[in-house]
């Protein structure tokens, strides 16, 4: 039985990855920071919480990482922990750098000391490209991050490459473009839109205030993307891969699909609020997933409209049954 340690297991990707690994027969350990009361909604939603072994630890506290490595003795380590919201990174840049950037270094160093034969996955991001130099981004496209989050992720990406080249660790970076699900936090634009569409349809709200509607993103389904993460660590040699659909849609497209799904016209409810515009915006990101398709046999299976409708349906169920702050229904 293989053993895997997942940081960020209470987040969207952590929950989907835990389910995938458990279904493959892994013994799964999850690192849980105790800064505040942990929220296990995602693990409960997917019905996997009882099967995961949770360990206290924080990527900003290397001693706790060493203890977690000793307890789990993992064959595979997946670093999904981060302060991952771009907007918050402008308000809390130092916290973002410590958690998202230095956290990866702390984890790599703990792995090097305790279980150097383990395989390591670093969750890199398309936000590292930022001010794009090429219309479609691949593994060789230059990086130019446009937020403290993107800069922090770039440090984590390059320190992973450095540890691979310097210490011979089996360490891979997955440059994942935007991937969403019903487990996405409400601070992200996709969940803002799906949640608002559900609430407005059910008479719980009247309008949705957003920043700019023109930025375009390559949106996929998180449940598809975690399979790509796993496949990277099954290769004979460690390499970095872009995980993307190769197709972009604007925030306006997102609103149109979501509101149309519930029989509404988004133009009657969505307001462009200048107060929500970011200091620096990334206008468009489009990933080239050819390398992942050719070498990993991976490709995104869930289309954009299907993903948005899935999220709206989940929020309709949530709003009807539980109310805004109650736990997610089991699914």
CB of 192 closer than 8 Å to CB of 210:
yes
User: What is the model's pLDDT at position 323?
Assistant: 55
User: What is the model's pLDDT at position 325?
Assistant: 46
User: What is the model's pLDDT at position 34?
Assistant: 79
Rounded distance between C-alpha atoms, residue 86 and residue 13, angstroms: 17
Q: Which residues are CB-neighbours of 152 under 8 A, at least 6 positions away? A: 82, 83, 89, 96, 97, 99, 100, 101
User: What is the model's pLDDT at position 280?
Assistant: 62
Active site residues: 125, 127, 149
User: What is the model's pLDDT at position 322?
Assistant: 67
Per-residue pLDDT tens digits for 73-99: 999 999 999 987 788 888 999 999 999
Rounded distance between C-alpha atoms, residue 326 and residue 319, angstroms: 9
Q: Please name each of the domains of the chain with its CATH number.
A: 3-178+221-243 (3.40.50.720), 185-217+249-283+302-321 (3.90.25.10)
Size of the chain, expressed as the number of residues it contains: 331
> Which residue positions in the chain have pLDDT lower than 50?
324-331
User: What is the model's pLDDT at position 88?
Assistant: 87
């Amino acid at each position: 039985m293989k053993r895997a340690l997942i940081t960020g297991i209470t987040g969207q990707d952590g929950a989907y990855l835990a389910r995938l690994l458990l279904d493959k027969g892994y013994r799964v350990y999850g690192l849980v920071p105790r800064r505040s009361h942990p929220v296990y909604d995602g693990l409960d939603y997917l019905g996997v919480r009882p099967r995961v072994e949770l360990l206290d630890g924080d990527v900003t506290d290397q001693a706790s990482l060493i203890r977690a490595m000793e307890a789990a003795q993992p064959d595979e380590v997946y670093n999904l922990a981060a302060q991952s919201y771009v907007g918050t990174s402008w308000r809390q840049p130092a916290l973002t750098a410590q958690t998202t950037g230095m956290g990866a270094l702390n984890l790599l160093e703990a792995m090097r000391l305790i279980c150097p034969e383990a395989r390591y996955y670093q969750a890199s991001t398309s936000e590292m490209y930022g001010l794009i130099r090429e219309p479609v981004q691949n593994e060789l496209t230059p990086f130019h991050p446009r937020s403290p989050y993107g800069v922090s992720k770039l440090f984590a990406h390059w320190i992973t490459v450095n540890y691979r080249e310097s210490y011979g660790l089996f360490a891979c970076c997955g440059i994942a473009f935007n991937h969403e699900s019903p487990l996405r936090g409400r601070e992200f634009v996709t969940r803002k839109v799906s949640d608002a569409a559900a609430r407005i349809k059910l008479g719980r709200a009247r309008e949705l205030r957003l920043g700019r509607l023109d930025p375009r993103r390559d949106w996929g389904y998180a449940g598809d993307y975690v399979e790509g993460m796993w496949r990277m660590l099954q290769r004979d040699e460690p390499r970095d891969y872009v995980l993307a659909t190769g197709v972009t849609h604007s925030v306006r497209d997102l609103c149109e699909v979501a509101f149309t799904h519930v029989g509404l016209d988004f133009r009657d409810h969505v307001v462009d609020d200048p107060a929500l515009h970011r200091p620096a915006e990334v206008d468009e990101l489009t990933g080239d997933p050819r390398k992942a398709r050719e070498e990993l046999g991976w490709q995104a299976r869930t289309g954009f409209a299907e993903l948005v409708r899935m999220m709206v349906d989940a929020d309709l169920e949530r709003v009807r049954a539980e109310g805004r702050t109650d736990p997610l229904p089991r699914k």
